[in-house]
Structure 1
Amino acid sequence: MTSQLFPRPIAHRGLHDRAAGIVENSAAAFEAAIAGHFAIECDLQLSRDGVPVVFHDEVLDRLTGETGLVSDRPVAELTHIGLKDSKAGDRPQTLDAFLEQIDGRALLQIELKHQPDAEATRRLAEAAAGSLARYNGAVTVESFDPRLISLIRDFGFAGPRGIITYDYEGEDYPPGITEEQRYSMRHLLHWHETQFDFISCDKAALTLPAIVFWRALGKPITAWTIRSAVEAEAARPHIDQIVFEGFNPDRVD
């Protein structure tokens, strides 16, 4: 299990441990990942005034003492809201501030989060591409939304772009998605539009025919979210790298 694109395990939202006061997608979590020589996965949401912010959820409730949508707040407010349980007093960072912190010290896997409409989708892709154009470190981008990985290319991002996927079975898929769209995303039929460079796949979907097919053709596959050495070992035959949390893959007995 090795990858030229992802030579080291990828710390999901940084190397976080909320019980120890290191919150996901925080400056402290990213420093911990760098100290462990891991790559870093993080998430981008869009502020009301169109600034990409490093934050996973659509709403503030789980990770802060505030409520409501991230997209309803201007960036000046978002970056002054404390992250709940952060020992260091960390706050959400803008993408620019995050890139300044990392400064080329780790490979980045940046997820562009699904947006509520086409305009917000375009704004996130354009703003992210603008910030990344000014960054000199190693960086990849990814999204569940094929439109985002196509748009960020159209706005000038020339680095590796990945599609995030799973089996799209049951009810666990975005609201409003049609059966045709679900089928297309399950089988990665958007390739002619996205021309993705890698695939980030749910650990439970690694044997889907589309994943097996693209890996046979040489596309790197990362698996999420791996939470133990046992899960890492089970995924190993099917992937090139893990996206992990909750354990240290370098300290496996």
Structure 2
Amino acid sequence: MLPTGFHARPFAHRALHGPGRPENSRSAIDAAMAAGYGIELDLQLSGDCQAMVFHDYALDRLTCARGPVRGLGAERLSSIQLNDSEEGIPTLRQVLDQVAGAVPLLIEVKDQDGALGPDVGPLEEATAACLADYPGPAAVMSFNPHSVARLGQLLPDLPRGLTTDAFAPEVWPTVPPARLNELRAMPDLVSLGAKFISHRWDDLTNPAVAAARAKGLRIFCWTIRSDSDQAAALENGADQVTFEGYLA
């Protein structure tokens, strides 16, 4: 089951970021908690196998540094300032200490295989090491079913789900078309023990989403950017939304 309160409020996408509060930053997390929102956040792997709260695979867009996140250790990454702030990149453990169960966490483990394939493990293990004794409401998810399966082995009692999409080839250029076809049908939900999906909001009428609901899964969606889109997502069957750029 998903933790109590997981459906009560929308999730702030990469926390409640805005001017002076970069995405996935501790200041954005504080803002989300102050507003009572759940928090969606992303994890990447450092060069010394620590779970870092950061969306991109490269540092270029969000910091003044360049190169892959995996090219640097956690201590060095934590010293690199996020744009429009004086904050460094936080570790998952730092964020868990900060939130301390105050609001639900929806944690996306970013694919480390590169093609949504089986080359996973280190990030899932680093994530599990942090979450094993976390007392607050949390759930994990990934676009990669192999990642979700590994998280299920490591954290069998923690709710897990799939991040899902229409998987258009132009959006996923590094993933073979045959793999995209497999994922589009969401065939792994039962075997993974998934409790939910988090689906692209403008594809909620996809029959695969209805099939997931028929299996008893809750339906979250990403990423809502206006009141009107939020209303449309809820009308199309979303149980809860992940939002940014406005107050849901």
Give TM-score scaled by structure 1 length.
Answer: 0.91
The match for 2:139 is 140
Over the matched positions of the two proteins, sequence identity in percent amounts to: 38
Return 98-107 or 162-171, whichever deviates more: 162-171
Q: Is the 8 A contact 2:5 2:104 kept in 1?
A: no
Q: Which runs of 4+ in 1 moved over 4 A?
A: 117-120
> What are the within-5 Å matches in structure 2 for residues 172-251 of structure 1?
172-173=171-172, 175-179=174-178, 181-237=179-235, 238-249=237-248
The match for 1:13 is 14
Structure 1 stretches lacking a partner, 5+ long: none
Query: 1:39-61 CA deviation, whole Å, 9 max, x = no partner?
Result: 00000000011000000000001
| Superposed displacement of residue 81, structure 1 | 0.4
Q: Is the 8 A contact 1:14 1:40 kept in 2?
A: yes
Q: Is the 8 A contact 2:6 2:104 kept in 1?
A: no
**C-alpha distance in structure 1 between counterparts of 2:99 and 2:81, whole Å:** 20
SS at 2:120 equivalent: helix
What amino acid is the match of 2:196? F
The match for 2:97 is 100
The match for 1:112 is 109
Q: Is the 8 A contact 1:132 1:157 kept in 2?
A: no
**C-alpha distance in structure 1 between counterparts of 2:177 and 2:188, whole Å:** 15
How many residues are matched?
A: 242
**C-alpha distance in structure 2 between counterparts of 1:174 and 1:210, whole Å:** 22
**C-alpha distance in structure 2 between counterparts of 1:22 and 1:4, whole Å:** 25
The match for 1:82 is 81
SS at 1:44 equivalent: strand
| Superposed displacement of residue 195, structure 1 | 2.3
Query: 1:22-68 CA deviation, whole Å, 9 max, x = no partner?
Result: 11000000000001100000000000110000000000011111000
What amino acid is the match of 2:212? W
Q: Is the 8 A contact 2:109 2:147 kept in 1?
A: yes
**C-alpha distance in structure 1 between counterparts of 2:182 and 2:149, whole Å:** 15
The match for 2:21 is 22
Q: Is the 8 A contact 1:5 1:220 kept in 2?
A: no
RMSD of equivalent CA atoms: 1.7
SS at 1:153 equivalent: helix
Q: Is the 8 A contact 1:109 1:139 kept in 2?
A: yes
The match for 1:42 is 41
What amino acid is the match of 1:94? T
**C-alpha distance in structure 2 between counterparts of 1:116 and 1:148, whole Å:** 9
Are residues 217 and 192 of structure 1, via their aligned partners in 2, closer, same or farther at CA, if it must alter by over 3 Å? closer
**C-alpha distance in structure 2 between counterparts of 1:137 and 1:62, whole Å:** 31
Structure 2 stretches lacking a partner, 5+ long: none
**C-alpha distance in structure 2 between counterparts of 1:162 and 1:196, whole Å:** 5
Query: 1:230-251 CA deviation, whole Å, 9 max, x = no partner?
Result: 10011112110000000001xx
Q: Is the 8 A contact 1:54 1:95 kept in 2?
A: yes
**C-alpha distance in structure 2 between counterparts of 1:213 and 1:76, whole Å:** 44
Give TM-score scaled by structure 2 length.
Answer: 0.93
| Superposed displacement of residue 5, structure 1 | 3.5
